Amino acid sequence: MWYIGAAGGIYYVSHLEKVELTGRWRFMDTSIQAEIATGEEVYMETLAQFRSKLLPPTHPTTRFITSVAQKIIQASELAQRPDESIDNLTSSSPEFDDWASPGSSFSSDPRPVPDWKIHVIDEPKIQNAFVIPGGKIFVFTGILPICQNEAGLATVLGHEVAHQVLRHPAERMSSLKVIFLLTTLLSVIGLDPGTCRAAVTLLMTLPNSRRSEIEADQIGLNIMASACYDPREAIGVWKRMDEHDRSSRTARKATEFLQTHPTHDRRIEKITSWLPEAQSYLDRNCGFTNKAFREYNRWNP
């Protein structure tokens, strides 16, 4: 039995990688090809599930969300290359399908460019958005009142694009293998399978999920700022989300360590601490106009 654990430990350590944008170490053994293949399957299933509620591409709401998504996806390049300005990346104004398709020359990154697609689900009662491996983003119309404005929507989209940029879907796929192995080994040595799953979930799955969410908040903030949206708007979004959850029947009553996402208060606290860094992206990529506007607001409250 010991040699199985030793082999597993060697495999785990040999597949650790450092997240370039945040410095966090993680286990990653899911190839980009596997990520894309899995994403396509999930994408087809999701389209089938919500097909009757998908707004057409020509719908005003879809066009609005897509226009913001274009800016966010383009700006995600700047979040990965902090020393460059948007002028160096956008000598023209290509259409969404031109720079968001696989094999696009927009990125110098050797990894394949995600096949970005935006879908809007007409469901006012669901306040959510999510990304599928490979860059497929789904937005429920119920999130729009919480976004309240274009910058609020940029907050949500920046968060989802950050998940893809950071390859969080692939990281989750990799983590599932570790979880399966751990629960199997613990069961073999005589522990109750249900107890094993609960322990692994509490000690590994939930903390990793919260770390990924916080990481996406941080990078998403830089992305929205690179797209010339005021990062301070992110605080308002999470305050409104908190108010919504408190007033709804689904308000979270569990402590943070039992949740897949950090509490809204913790998110607001972290975002506030990241604002100076995000502001530097805004100043660098949005130039004199933005600085002048802030100075005007400072002296003319």
Least trusted range by pLDDT, from 47-61, 70-84, 135-149: 70-84
Least trusted range by pLDDT, from 188-192, 257-261, 267-271: 257-261
What is the Cα–Cα distance from 164 to 133, expressed in whole angstroms? Answer: 7
Active site residue 160: yes
Helices 150-165 and 60-80 cross at an angle (nearest 10°) of 50
The pLDDT score that the predictor gives to residue 264 is: 87
What is the Cα–Cα distance from 236 to 243, expressed in whole angstroms? Answer: 10
* Structural tokens at position 166: 């950071």
The residue among 261 and 233 whose pLDDT is bigger is: 233
In sequence order, which residues have a C-beta less than 8 Å from that of residue 166 and are 6 or more positions away?
Answer: 19, 21, 22, 212, 215, 216, 219
Task: Specify the pTM.
Answer: 0.79
What is the Cα–Cα distance from 228 to 105, expressed in whole angstroms? Answer: 23
The pLDDT score that the predictor gives to residue 166 is: 93
Helices (H), the chain: 2-14, 32-50, 60-80, 86-89, 96-99, 144-147, 150-165, 168-188, 193-200, 206-226, 233-247, 264-299
pLDDT confidence band for 300 (50 / 70 / 90): low
The residue among 74 and 100 whose pLDDT is bigger is: 74
As a whole-number percent, the residues of the chain with pLDDT over 70 amount to 70
The pLDDT score that the predictor gives to residue 250 is: 52
The residue among 78 and 228 whose pLDDT is bigger is: 228
The pLDDT of 70-91, averaged and rounded, is 63
The residue annotated as part of the active site, out of 35, 77, 160, 171, is: 160
The pLDDT score that the predictor gives to residue 78 is: 60
Please name the amino acid found at residue 292.
A
Number of Cβ within 10 Å of residue 130's Cβ equals 13
Q: Is the pLDDT of residue 111 over 80?
A: no
The pLDDT score that the predictor gives to residue 11 is: 84
Q: Is the pLDDT of residue 254 over 80?
A: no
The tens digit of pLDDT for each residue in 206-232 reads: 777 889 999 999 999 999 999 999 999
What is the Cα–Cα distance from 84 to 73, expressed in whole angstroms? Answer: 16
